[in-house]
């Protein structure tokens, strides 16, 4: 089993409660000055990421970006990189 990786997922526009409900417990939600919604949280595995992206696609949400934040395999949460 792999360790979770923190990801940043950016959505076009201000995502509402209906879109965010499935991810509110797992992700920090930020509304940016650029008018996007940024989600930051741990993705357990590729199936988890795929499920989230499928949810957003089904809700007709445009993805701006999806990127891993922890690219160092030795990085531990709470320790400097």
Residue 14 burial by CB count (10 A; 0-12/13-18/19+): exposed, middle or buried?
A: exposed
Decide if 3 contacts 65 (C-beta within 8 A).
no
Q: Residue 36's closest CA among 59, 58, 8?
A: 8
Distance of CA 40 to the CA centre of its chain: 5
The tokens of 6 are what?
């923190």
Measure the CA–CA gap between 69 and 30, rounded to whole angstroms. 16
pTM for the full model? Answer: 0.80
Tens-digit pLDDT profile for residues 9-55: 999 999 999 999 988 889 999 999 999 999 999 999 999 999 999 99
pLDDT, tens digit, 9 for 90 and up, residues 48-75? 999 999 999 999 999 999 999 976 555 4
């Amino acid at each position: 089993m792999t360790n979770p990786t923190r990801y940043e997922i950016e959505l076009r526009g201000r995502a509402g409660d209906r879109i965010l409900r499935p991810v509110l417990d797992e992700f920090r939600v930020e509304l940016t000055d650029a008018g996007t919604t940024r989600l930051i949280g741990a993705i357990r595995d590729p199936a988890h990421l795929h499920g989230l992206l499928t949810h957003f696609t089904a809700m007709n949400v445009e993805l701006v970006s999806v990127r891993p934040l922890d690219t160092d395999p030795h990085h531990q949460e709470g320790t400097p990189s």
